[in-house]
Chains A and B, each alone.
Chain A
Amino acid sequence: MADNNKEDQNWEPKIVAFVCNWCTYAGADLAGISRIQYPPNVRLIRLPCSGRVNPFYVVKALQEGADGVLVSGCHPGECHYLTGNLSARRKFSMLKNFLTYVGVEPDRTLFTWVSASEGEKFAHVIKGVTDKVKALGPAKKLVKKFD
């Protein structure tokens, strides 16, 4: 991928965000209708629940060329399906540790909670994640070289 060259001054990180339909996606919507600016580096993928995010999605996104991955759902206690985000929290705490253990930079994969009313926070999160991934430079590990 030509645009993934760190020397390239115009390099911009590609970030994939798996977000929950009921909270973070609505939060993103609120940010949009409130006209809050945030970096355009993020591609949102809407899922019914953060509990629906298969850890495989995170790893596959990295393999297929994402420079960073964000997973965001409802705050604990506020899950539309009651406990989906709690099982997500368990999965991702182990996933993040395991990715870090094999040597993937901790800031490549981030997890957070954004509720439907937190348009402001959504914009902050995206800005923060984009800055972190930018600081790391293009992803090199687990990234597929050819098909």
Chain B
Amino acid sequence: MKNIENQLREEAKKLLDDGKVNVIVGYEEGTLPGQTTPCFIESSADADRLVWNPFCSMNLAKYVHDIIHRHRDSQKRAKPEERTKKIVGVVARGCTTRSLILNLQEKQYEREELVIIGVPCTGYVARRKLDRAAGGKEIIGCAVNGDRLTVTTAGGDSDILLKDIISNSCMTCRYNNPIISDIMVGDPAPPMEPGREYDAVTEFENKTEEERWAYFAGEMDKCIRCYACRNACPSCYCKVCFLEQNQPKWIGVGVEETDTQVFQFMRMFHMAGRCVDCGSCVEVCPMGVDLRTFLKKLDKDGFELFEHRAGESLESLPPLSVHSMNDKEEFIYEPE
């Protein structure tokens, strides 16, 4: 880890000093133990703030998109001959590169506007699992040593295996190493367990209709509509989100329960063939809503129906962006 972190800082310094990027999006220490926060490094003097550790949870592709778009908007006010491009460097593990690929496929920016510093990934610690491991007590220290973690609370130290508290997305991640990169730091990470990727979905599919509905309604009932899940998601980038649209108004803003159900249902459906299962939405949710059980179904269907996994390569377009005469149509109703 330390070795990767040092290499990362060196590469970042070089890129900034050589003027190859204007900014590097990476992770820095957070304000609490066992946390990191996204950071934006613009000068090589700050590159030592970059960290790489099991607490790097957020998918940074979101920030890449936002920086480029904010810059482009600002350029609209500049004279054409004075317009500049902003080159963004980004620290990217597997799922981040998948999101970058998706954004590129959806023509959100050009490949030339990106410098991808690929990092091998062994999964990030899910905050909720960490809190549970600490017995709900306030965590005052977190020290990683190899594949273990020592968590310090007022009640003393506890020693946990990292792999027991990584995010569910990471446990079954298929692409934990970067898919595309300009520079790679560190050696490729060992594979996770993608064989179990759809187990939970299959289990859910086999429940009865009423059980499934009860679970969906129950999870949506927890949602306080803070929209953190949307804001964290690199695939959610519409300038005007359907949630805030009022001509027509799709979703009521009150407490009516189906408004929440419909909001979540539609936000998730927008992820059909586009969710890279980075788990950022789940990680930021303050209410612990289980979004992944549902998102993963779309992923499974995208694969089973259209042999596609979001962001798996630059060539393979999201399934709802393309179509074929030979698509399956068993679902089409034919009257007797």
Task: List the interface of chain A (C-beta within 8 A of B).
Answer: 55-56, 59-60, 63, 70, 76-77, 83, 86-87, 89-98, 101-105, 110-113, 121, 124-125, 127-129, 141-147
> What chain A residues lie within 8 Å of B322 (beta carbons)?
90
A144 and B324 alpha carbons, distance in the complex (Å): 36
> What chain A residues lie within 8 Å of B258 (beta carbons)?
63, 142-145
Nearest B-chain residue to A88, judged by Cβ: B323
> What chain A residues lie within 8 Å of B268 (beta carbons)?
98
Task: Label chain A's interface by main secondary structure.
Answer: helix
A90 and B216 in contact, given A101-B297, A147-B256 (Cβ under 8 angstroms)? no
Task: List the interface of chain B (C-beta within 8 A of A).
Answer: 204-205, 209-217, 242, 250, 252, 256-259, 261-262, 265-266, 268-269, 272-273, 294, 297-298, 301-302, 305-306, 319-320, 322-325, 327-329, 331-336
What distance in Å separates the Cβ of A68 from its nearest Cβ neighbour in chain B? 11
Is the pair B332, A102 in contact by a Cβ cutoff of 8 Å? no
A112 and B330 alpha carbons, distance in the complex (Å): 11
Is the pair A104, B204 in contact by a Cβ cutoff of 8 Å? no
- Contacts A112-B335, A145-B256 known; list 16 others, CB within 8 Å: A56-B250, A63-B258, A90-B306, A90-B327, A94-B269, A96-B331, A98-B269, A98-B272, A103-B217, A105-B209, A128-B335, A142-B258, A142-B262, A144-B256, A146-B256, A147-B256
Is the pair A128, B204 in contact by a Cβ cutoff of 8 Å? no
> What chain A residues lie within 8 Å of B250 (beta carbons)?
56, 60
Nearest B-chain residue to A113, judged by Cβ: B332
What distance in Å separates the Cβ of B122 from its nearest Cβ neighbour in chain A? 31
Is the pair B305, A93 in contact by a Cβ cutoff of 8 Å? yes
Nearest B-chain residue to A105, judged by Cβ: B209
> What chain A residues lie within 8 Å of B332 (beta carbons)?
89, 111-113
A89 and B319 alpha carbons, distance in the complex (Å): 11
What distance in Å separates the Cβ of A61 from its nearest Cβ neighbour in chain B? 11
What distance in Å separates the Cβ of B215 from its nearest Cβ neighbour in chain A? 8
> What chain A residues lie within 8 Å of B266 (beta carbons)?
55-56, 59
Is the pair B334, A112 in contact by a Cβ cutoff of 8 Å? yes
A142 and B250 alpha carbons, distance in the complex (Å): 14
> What chain B residues lie within 8 Å of A87 (beta carbons)?
320, 323
Nearest B-chain residue to A83, judged by Cβ: B323
17 A–B pairs (Cβ distance < 8 Å), ordered by A:
A90-B319, A90-B323, A91-B320, A93-B301, A93-B305, A93-B327, A94-B302, A98-B269, A103-B209, A103-B212, A103-B214, A110-B333, A129-B333, A142-B261, A143-B258, A144-B256, A145-B258
A141 and B297 alpha carbons, distance in the complex (Å): 20
> What chain A residues lie within 8 Å of B298 (beta carbons)?
94, 98
> What chain B residues lie within 8 Å of A104 (beta carbons)?
213
Q: Which of A92, A93, A101, A113 contacts B294 (CB 8 A)?
A: A101
Q: What are the nearest 4 A-B pairs in CB distance?
A: A103-B213, A128-B335, A103-B212, A86-B323
Is the pair A94, B301 in contact by a Cβ cutoff of 8 Å? yes
> What chain B residues lie within 8 Å of A111 (beta carbons)?
331-333
Most buried by A among B265, B297, B320, B324: B265
> What chain A residues lie within 8 Å of B328 (beta carbons)?
93
> What chain A residues lie within 8 Å of B213 (beta carbons)?
102-104, 141
> What chain B residues lie within 8 Å of A121 (beta carbons)?
335
Is the pair A103, B210 in contact by a Cβ cutoff of 8 Å? yes
> What chain A residues lie within 8 Å of B319 (beta carbons)?
90, 94
A101 and B204 in contact, given A94-B272, A113-B332, A128-B336 (Cβ under 8 angstroms)? yes
Is the pair A95, B269 in contact by a Cβ cutoff of 8 Å? yes
Is the pair B333, A112 in contact by a Cβ cutoff of 8 Å? yes
Q: Which of A70, A91, A92, A98 contacts B297 (CB 8 A)?
A: A98
Nearest B-chain residue to A87, judged by Cβ: B323
A91 and B298 alpha carbons, distance in the complex (Å): 11
A145 and B297 alpha carbons, distance in the complex (Å): 28
> What chain B residues lie within 8 Å of A86 (beta carbons)?
323-325, 327
> What chain A residues lie within 8 Å of B325 (beta carbons)?
76-77, 86
What distance in Å separates the Cβ of B319 from its nearest Cβ neighbour in chain A? 6
Nearest B-chain residue to A127, judged by Cβ: B335
What distance in Å separates the Cβ of A46 from its nearest Cβ neighbour in chain B? 18
What distance in Å separates the Cβ of A65 from its nearest Cβ neighbour in chain B? 11
A91 and B268 alpha carbons, distance in the complex (Å): 13
What distance in Å separates the Cβ of A101 from its nearest Cβ neighbour in chain B? 5
Is the pair B265, A89 in contact by a Cβ cutoff of 8 Å? no
What distance in Å separates the Cβ of A62 from its nearest Cβ neighbour in chain B? 9
What distance in Å separates the Cβ of B303 from its nearest Cβ neighbour in chain A? 11
